[in-house]
A = this chain, B = another copy of it.
């Protein structure tokens, strides 16, 4: 299992716990980046995008909850998985965290093996092959680095969600996805939005691609969901 080289950002105010976490994570062959508060976390985040964020729930200043919302609200960081660390196993917090789009949840006191296992489970879920930096299908180019889309050289104006949607579909062509799965992959885990919302964004995406004749690539599979295909 080449889980190595994965970078984990630990956001935790108590230095002693941070220390322990670093020790345990490094022993499991993760690279660790630490932050004592949200401010520092933002900087580290901008510096290098981690593969996963381990986020303490209770922190002085900006809370972990708010930081999670911040990350999930930003298209650039939306798909970095988050595991919440909370002091209590309070149901309500847990629900709020999950509804926010956190991928999992660990409550103190936790065992390190369990923590590692959960991290591995979450990392395994995140798309392995979907890290294509640049895709060009049939004259339609999707550049992940600049988050830009061009069709036959012409720039395509897309909103963040439409971009994310296209990026996801383009990196998984010839495959049907249900609305639920699209919501999971594009909007984030455990976020509650109406399924039909996908339809609307599909419509917006198609509209944006229409002037270039690419709208046919997003295909409706009646009774199931949608599919991206280069065959127009």
Count class of interface residues, chain A: 35 or more
* Identical subunits present: 2
CA distance A131 to B196 in the complex (A): 27
CA distance A106 to B146 in the complex (A): 37
A98 touches B118 (CB 8 A): yes
* Binary contact track A41-74/B, C-beta < 8 Å → 1, others 0: 0000000000000000000000000000000000
Q: Which of A17-25, A32-40, A109-117, A210-218 is near enough to bind chain B?
A: A109-117
Q: Which residue of B lies closest to A175 (CB)?
A: B145
* Binary contact track A208-229/B, C-beta < 8 Å → 1, others 0: 0000000000000111100101
Contacts of A127 in B (CB 8 A): 175-177, 181
CA distance A101 to B121 in the complex (A): 7
> Which chain A residues in 159-202 approach chain B with CB under 8 Å?
159-160, 174-178, 180-181, 184, 190
A73 to chain B, nearest CB (A): 14
Contacts of A94 in B (CB 8 A): 114, 117
CA distance A84 to B147 in the complex (A): 37
* Binary contact track A95-131/B, C-beta < 8 Å → 1, others 0: 1001101010000000101101110110011011100
CA distance A124 to B159 in the complex (A): 26
Contacts of A2 in B (CB 8 A): 223
Listed A/B pairs (27) with beta-carbon separation below 8 Å: A2-B223, A91-B113, A94-B114, A95-B113, A98-B117, A98-B118, A99-B117, A99-B120, A103-B121, A124-B180, A124-B181, A125-B125, A127-B175, A127-B176, A128-B176, A128-B178, A143-B174, A145-B174, A146-B227, A147-B176, A147-B227, A148-B227, A159-B222, A159-B223, A160-B222, A160-B223, A160-B224
Given A91-B113, A175-B145, A176-B145, CB of A224 within 8 Å of CB of B128: yes
A133 to chain B, nearest CB (A): 11
CA distance A227 to B127 in the complex (A): 12
Which of these, B111, B159, B181, contacts A125 with CB under 8 Å?
Answer: B181
Contacts of A221 in B (CB 8 A): 147
